[in-house]
Amino acid sequence: MEQNKPARGRTLCSRYDRIQIERARATAEASVRTGAPGSPRERCLTMATVNPHVKAVEYAVRGPIVTRAGDLERALRQGQNQSFTEVIKANIGDAHAMGQQPITFLRQVVALCCFPELLESPSFPDDAKQRAQRILQDCGGQSLGSYSASQGVECIRRDIADYITHRDQGVPSDWNNIYLTTGASDGIMSILKLIVSGQGSSRTGVMIPIPQYPLYSAAISELEAVHINYYLDEDHCWALDIEELQRAYLTAKQQCQPRVLCIINPGNPTGQVQSKKCIEEVLHFAFEENLFVMADEVYQDNVYALDCRFHSFKKVLYEMGPEYFNNVELASFHSTSKGYTGECGFRGGYMEVLNMDPQVEAQLVKLLSVRLCPPVPGQAAMDVIVNPPKVHEPSYAQFTKEKNSVLDVLAHKAMLTERILNSVPGIKCNPVQGAMYAFPQIFIPPRAIQEAQSRSLAPDMLYCLKLLEETGICVVPGSGFGQREGTFHFRMTILPSPEKLEVLLGQLKEFHLRFLEEYSQQEPQIPRTAHDQHRETSEQPA
C-alpha cells in the first residue's frame, strides 16, 4: 500500500508548480486587462535572424507605391480631401479589378463543377454541362474539393496537350509532359528550384531580360542564384539581340555557371512580340551553350500589332529539326490570369517540359508533390481556356463574341496609349505590340534627379510618387523592372476601360508637363534615340 502513495517531496513540488503556474496565469491576465507590459523578451524572429535571401527579394509591382495607393484609397473612403476622387491602379495586370467582364462559358463550367446540383438547371448550356461532368468524373469523389494528382487532373492535362498540338499546327504534345500549376509563377519557381545549385564559381546563373518581370529577380534572389542581365534593345522596339545575349553569357561565365535562359514573349513590361527569326537565334544559342530555356508565354493570346504573330518556342524548336527538338531542354508556361479571360484569382496555369532527364523529372514530381496539388477550381478554369466551345456547340457564338470583344478593345487601348504618350514632350513609348502594358521612357530633369538622390529614391520612383500624390494614378517605376543606366521609365497597364484610360492618359500628360516646368530651368531636351532618328528620316518627303 505504501508503494502506491506519492512521495511527499513530489507532492510538495507538484503543489508548488501549480501555485507558480496559477500566479503566472493571473499576472498574464492582469497584464492583458490593464495593458501593462509584460517582461521584455527578445523575439525569436527579428530582422537580424530572418532569412537574408528573403530580405533580398524585391517585387516592385506590389511595392511601396502600391502601399501608398492603398493609404490614399482609405483616406478617400474616410472623407479626406484629395486633389482627385479615386485611385486608379494601373500598376498590375488584374483585368477584372479594372472592370473587364468574365467570359460567361468559363464561369458556367467552373460554377457547375463547384455546385454540381446546377447540372439539373435548364439555365446552363449542354456543352458547359458536358465539360463539367467530364472534369468531375476525374476528381476524387467527383468533387472539386478533393485533392488532384500533384501534376493535375488527368483529363485536363490531356486537353492541354491537345490544345498545344492544335496551336502548334500538328507538333505533337505528350500529356505526360504537362504539369498544372498555381498560376505560371508556381511553375517558374519550381523549375528554378530544380536547377539552382553549386557554390562559388559553379553557382547557377540565370539569364533574364532587362527590363524583366520582377518575379524572376525575386526568385533568383530567394534561391541565391546569380543574376545574369541581358538588355533588350529599346531603340528597336525592345528586340532581343543575340550579340547582347552572348556578351552577358561570356561576362557571367567568369563568376558563375550559366544554366538557364529566361524569355518573356510577348514581353512584360515591354509589350514586344519576338519574331520567329529571333526565337530561332535564341534557341540556337541555347543549344550551343547547353542552356535550359524557360519560355514565359502567358500573353500568347495578347498580340495586337497587325505585323506581329505569336510563335511558340516549342513550335520553332520543332521546325529547327530533330537535333534541336530532341535535345534542347525547354519549359514553357501559360496561365488563366492573362489572355482574354483575365482570371487572376483562380490561380490556374500549366507548364510543358521537354527533354528533361527522367531521373530529374522524378525529382520534379517529388518537389511538386510537397505542395500537394494546384487549386482544382483553377485547373477547371484552365481547361476551359484550352478546350473552348467548338463551332457546332451551343455556346460557340457567345463565347467567340466575348473573346473577340475583349481582344479588340485591348488592341484599341494599346494603340491609344502609344499615340497619347508619344504626343507628350519628354515621353517616348514604343508600340505596344502585345501583352497588357506600356513601358514608356520619360525625361527627368537634372534638378529632379538631384532631389530624388537627396531623398534616397530612384528618380523614376520620385516621379511615380508625385504622380500618385497629385493625380491618384498608380504606376510602377521602371527601376523596379531594370533599365539601362541613365534611362527612366514607368510601367502602366492598358486594362482600364477606354474612357477611363483616356482620362488617365490626359491627366498623366498634364502632370508630366507640370513636372517638367517645376524642375526645368529651360525647355527640356527630349531624349532622341536611334528609333526617333529612324522615324524622323522615314517621315521626310522623298
DSSP-assigned letters across all residues of 342-381 = --GGG-EEEEEEES--HHHHHHHHHHHHHT----HHHHHH
- What are the b/e assignments for 372-400, b being 16+ CB within 10 Å? ebbbbbbbbbbbbbbbbbeeebebbeebe
Edge-to-edge strand ranges of the sheet holding 204-210: 178-182, 348-354, 330-335, 292-296, 257-264, 204-210, 226-231
Q: Which residue has the cell 491537345?
A: 162
Task: Indicate if the pLDDT at residue 210 is higher than 80.
Answer: yes
User: Of 261, 354, 345, 349, whose CA–CA distance to 300 is shortest?
Assistant: 349
Task: Indicate if the pLDDT at residue 533 is higher than 90.
Answer: no
For residue 426, the model assigns a pLDDT of 93
18 vs 97, more confident? 97
Task: Indicate if the pLDDT at residue 530 is higher than 70.
Answer: no
> What proportion of the chain, given as a percentage, has pLDDT over 90?
67
Cβ–Cβ under 8 Å, residues 152 and 379: yes
Task: Indicate if the pLDDT at residue 304 is higher than 50.
Answer: yes
User: Of 260, 317, 268, whose CA–CA distance to 297 is shortest?
Assistant: 268
For residue 41, the model assigns a pLDDT of 78
Task: Indicate if the pLDDT at residue 373 is higher than 70.
Answer: yes
Comparing 23-27, 94-98, 332-336, the range with the smallest average pLDDT is 23-27
> What proportion of the chain, given as a percentage, has pLDDT over 70?
87
Average pLDDT over residues 208-222: 88
What CA–CA distance (Å, rounded) separates 495 from 409? Answer: 9
What CA–CA distance (Å, rounded) separates 344 from 258? Answer: 32
505 vs 528, more confident? 505
Residue 38: band (very low, low, confident or very high) from pLDDT cuts 50, 70, 90: low
For residue 58, the model assigns a pLDDT of 64
Task: Indicate if the pLDDT at residue 28 is higher than 70.
Answer: no
Q: Which residue has the cell 514573349?
A: 265
For residue 16, the model assigns a pLDDT of 46
For residue 538, the model assigns a pLDDT of 43
3-class state of residue 259 by DSSP = strand
pLDDT digits (tens, 9 = 90+) for 116-158: 999 999 999 999 999 999 999 999 999 989 889 889 999 999 9
Task: Indicate if the pLDDT at residue 17 is higher than 80.
Answer: no
Q: Which of 25-29, 86-90, 470-474 has the highest mean pLDDT?
A: 470-474
Q: For the chain, how many residues are written?
A: 542
For residue 93, the model assigns a pLDDT of 85
Helix, strand, coil percent values for the chain (each to nearest 5): 50, 10, 35
Tell me what the pLDDT averaged over the chain comes to: 87
For residue 29, the model assigns a pLDDT of 57
Comparing 32-36, 197-201, 244-248, 446-450, the range with the smallest average pLDDT is 32-36
Q: Which three cell numbers stand for residue 173?
A: 504534345
Is residue 427 within a helix (H) or strand (E), and if so which, with residue range?
strand 427-428
Residue 523: band (very low, low, confident or very high) from pLDDT cuts 50, 70, 90: very low
Residue 124, classified by CB atoms within 10 Å of its CB into exposed (0-12), middle (13-18) or buried (19+), is middle
Task: Indicate if the pLDDT at residue 340 is higher than 60.
Answer: yes
What CA–CA distance (Å, rounded) separates 525 from 532? Answer: 13
For residue 56, the model assigns a pLDDT of 66
For residue 285, the model assigns a pLDDT of 97
Residue 24: band (very low, low, confident or very high) from pLDDT cuts 50, 70, 90: low
Q: Please state whether beta strands 473-474 and 88-89 pair in parallel, antiparallel, or not at all (unpaired).
A: parallel
For residue 526, the model assigns a pLDDT of 52
For residue 255, the model assigns a pLDDT of 92
Task: Indicate if the pLDDT at residue 66 is higher than 90.
Answer: no
What CA–CA distance (Å, rounded) separates 254 from 154? Answer: 44
Cα dihedral 284, 286, 292, 294 sign: negative
Q: Please state whether beta strands 330-335 and 226-231 pair in parallel, antiparallel, or not at all (unpaired).
A: unpaired
pLDDT digits (tens, 9 = 90+) for 224-253: 899 999 999 999 999 999 999 999 999 999
CA triple 504-508-511, angle to 5 deg: 140
Q: Give Rg (Cα) of the chain.
A: 28
For residue 116, the model assigns a pLDDT of 95
